[in-house]
Amino acid sequence: MADRPAWSDLTRGEKLAVIRAETTGVRRAVMAGMDHQPDIDRRVTAVYDKAARRIARDAKKSK
């Protein structure tokens, strides 16, 4: 995707998905000492990519 959507452009469900993924990452970092977590990064990126596609689709519809 070209640009990452702003936090305020995300829907409530998308925000919760990002928070859930980040919370899992923090929990793992504290409990297991895992600093590098590519699966968490991919989850968050997927949410933002999906949001960007939704925003682009909605902008296209409104024209």
The reported pLDDT for the residue numbered 61 is 85
The reported pLDDT for the residue numbered 63 is 73
Measured between alpha carbons, how far is 53 from 20 in angstroms, rounded to an integer? 21
Mean pLDDT, residues 23-46 taken together: 93
Phi first, then psi: what are they for 36, rounded to 5°?
-100, 115
pLDDT at 49 over 90: yes
The distance in angstroms from the start CA to the end CA of the chain is 21
CA 46 from chain center: how many Å?
6
Calculate Rg over the CA atoms of the chain: 14
The reported pLDDT for the residue numbered 17 is 97
The reported pLDDT for the residue numbered 19 is 97
pLDDT tens for each residue of 2-16: 589 999 999 999 999
